[in-house]
């Protein structure tokens, strides 16, 4: 450690951002206290027990450009647990399933006029070789895409994809966000004519989460606490002094805080932040996610990702994760996710789990008429209130720095990934970056 006195850093949240920050700080000799409000670690990348094995609450696939994750996995000696598979993507449109994994599939995709198929392909290639996005931040994704690929191609291909992620806000998203989404996936293609290759960890994100937690548990200077909800971050003379937990109002004095919680939570627990800063952060709006996880006796389709564009189906995708992760050893059974993003105030966010399952069953049946509800052996519904910041036009102006106006308070939040989509790789990058800032500042 750089200074002769051991500095204490409280890390709020044991998701991948918090765990990565704590890992780097702990290795440098800082006293690190990770405080996680839930009874489990991993945050959005955490798992539930399904058939006595951990399965992620939300699906996670990895792209070739996710260097921060890939590097950390190697660093932790887990390189042999990361595998790559060609992605199998399909489109469900007008009652029909279309292949959509390769340029040959695109050429055959008769739901879109031929010329627009070509324009779609050219847009993917151009996006793959573009690195600058600043101008696209000022343009809407919808108008940019329609101009690039044509109205029908937009309606059929991108509209449902944007709806999967942004629900009713799908037409307010910036072109920079969709550009990066195209770029990230296109970079997972080894050759132009091949499908994308997506990565997965053998036990999902749990593999890296548990490895980081093990490292922390082995450090005498690190503490990893669950059921430890932070109530308030305290400061004096513009500098962080400590935090209080909800449980028993326990106070933990510290020299620095890394907050990895969503901005609305940060604002709630940090009353000392100046009002102009609070105002700026309050402008960021989030969507929640509701996601069904289904274990089935047999697969619904042979695809990893089925995009759905059908007015009779109230969701826009089925992600059949076991068609990607070949190490699940399910004996021919299947694990599928059905997500949708929406405001937490929308009635559908609070529908009963049973009602959601009825919707899912009806929708799956339309995609595969042979499907029978008796295929479902187990199911879970997960919800997360701050799953996705709404990346509207001009979003770059809203992105906060890691360093806040309070000395010693650093933040990581998914808004800072912009224009990148939310990924575990970016969460790791932000956590490690902030740890690096603290180390540099105190050395
Ligand atoms: C449906 C869905 C699908 C996704 N798919 C992919 C994918 O395919 N590939 C990919 O790479 N990424 C994917 N992601 C994104 C990925 O899961 C996230 O980017 C990543 O897990 C975020 O990690 P984090 O540590 O930044 O935040 P989080 O995981 O949100 O961690 C924050 C932690 O803070 C805790 N907390 C909150 N309030 C308090 C408090 N007051 N006190 C203490 N602790 C608190 C929370 O419980 C949580 O554990 C997906 C996310 C979702 C929701």
What average pLDDT does this structure show over 42-55? Answer: 93
pLDDT tops 60 at residue 272: yes
Residues with CB under 6 A from ligand 1: 12-18, 35-38, 43-45, 58-61, 229-230, 260-261, 265, 269, 289, 291, 339, 384, 387, 412, 414, 422-425, 427
Q: 150-186, pLDDT tens digit by residue?
A: 999 999 999 988 987 888 899 999 999 999 999 988 8
Per-residue model confidence (pLDDT) at position 164: 79
Report d(CA 427, CA 441) in Å as an integer.
21
pLDDT tops 80 at residue 128: yes
Residue with tokens 């029908």: 152
Give the DSSP letter string of 128-190: HT----TGGGGSBHHHHHHHHH-HHHIIIIIHHHHHHHHGGGGGGBBHHHHHHHHHHHHTTBS
- Model confidence at 314, pLDDT cuts 50, 70, 90, reads confident
45 CA distance to ligand 1 centroid (A)? 6
Per-residue model confidence (pLDDT) at position 3: 46
Identify which of 12, 15, 337 to mutate to test ligand 1's pocket (most ligand atoms within 8 A of the CB).
15
Report d(CA 354, CA 321) in Å as an integer.
22
Output the six-digit token pair for 396: 């770059």
Per-residue model confidence (pLDDT) at position 4: 47
Q: What is the mean pLDDT of the chain?
A: 94
pLDDT tops 60 at residue 112: yes
pLDDT tops 60 at residue 93: yes
Q: 212-264, pLDDT tens digit by residue?
A: 999 999 999 999 999 999 999 999 999 999 999 998 889 999 999 999 999 99
123 CA distance to ligand 1 centroid (A)? 31
Per-residue model confidence (pLDDT) at position 194: 80
Identify which of 198, 320, 424, 425 to mutate to test ligand 1's pocket (most ligand atoms within 8 A of the CB).
424
Choice between 190 and 36, residue whose per-residue pLDDT is larger: 36
What average pLDDT does this structure show over 406-432? Answer: 96
Global pTM reads: 0.95
43: left (phi over 0), alpha (psi -120 to 50) or beta: left
């Amino acid at each position: 450690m750089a200074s002769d006195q051991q500095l204490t850093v409280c890390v709020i949240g044991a998701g991948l951002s918090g765990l990565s920050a704590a890992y780097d700080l702990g290795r440098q000799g800082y006293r690190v206290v990770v405080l996680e409000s839930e009874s489990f670690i991993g945050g959005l990348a955490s798992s539930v027990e399904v058939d006595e094995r951990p399965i992620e609450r939300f699906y996670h696939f990895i792209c070739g450009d996710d260097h921060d994750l890939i590097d950390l996995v190697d660093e932790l000696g887990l390189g042999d647990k990361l595998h790559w598979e060609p992605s199998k993507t399909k489109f469900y449109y007008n009652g029909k399933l279309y292949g959509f994994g390769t340029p040959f599939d695109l050429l055959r995709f008769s739901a879109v006029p031929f010329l627009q198929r070509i324009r779609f392909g050219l847009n993917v290639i151009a996006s793959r070789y573009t690195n600058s996005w600043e101008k696209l931040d000022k343009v809407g994704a919808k108008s940019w895409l329609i101009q690039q690929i044509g109205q029908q191609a937009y309606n059929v291909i991108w509209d449902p994809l944007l709806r999967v992620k942004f629900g009713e806000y799908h037409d307010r998203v910036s072109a920079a966000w969709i550009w990066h989404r195209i770029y990230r996936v296109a970079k997972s293609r080894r050759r132009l004519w091949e499908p994308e290759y997506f990565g997965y960890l053998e036990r999902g994100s749990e593999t890296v989460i548990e490895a980081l937690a093990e490292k922390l548990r082995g450090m005498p200077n690190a503490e990893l606490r669950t059921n430890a909800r932070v109530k308030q971050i305290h400061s004096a003379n513009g500098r962080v002094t400590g935090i209080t937990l909800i449980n028993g109002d326990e106070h933990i004095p510290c020299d620095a805080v890394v907050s990895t919680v969503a901005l609305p939570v940060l604002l709630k627990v940090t009353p000392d932040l100046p009002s102009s800063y609070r105002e700026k952060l309050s402008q960021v709006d989030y969507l929640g996610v509701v996601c069904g996880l289904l274990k089935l006796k047999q697969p619904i389709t042979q695809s990893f990702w089925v995009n759905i564009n059908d007015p009779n189906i109230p969701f826009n995708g089925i992600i059949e994760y076991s068609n990607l992760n070949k190490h699940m050893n399910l004996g021919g059974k299947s694990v599928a996710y059905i997500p949708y993003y929406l405001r937490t105030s929308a009635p559908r966010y609070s529908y009963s789990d049973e009602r959601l399952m009825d919707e899912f069953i009806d929708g799956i049946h339309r995609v595969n008429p042979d499907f029978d509800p008796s295929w479902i052996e187990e199911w879970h519904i997960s919800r997360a209130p701050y799953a996705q910041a709404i990346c509207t036009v001009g979003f770059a102006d809203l992105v906060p720095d890691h360093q806040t106006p309070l000395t010693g308070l650093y933040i990581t939040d998914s808004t800072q990934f912009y224009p990148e989509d939310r990924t575990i790789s970016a969460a790791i990058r932000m956590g490690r970056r902030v740890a690096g800032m603290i180390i540099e500042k105190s050395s």
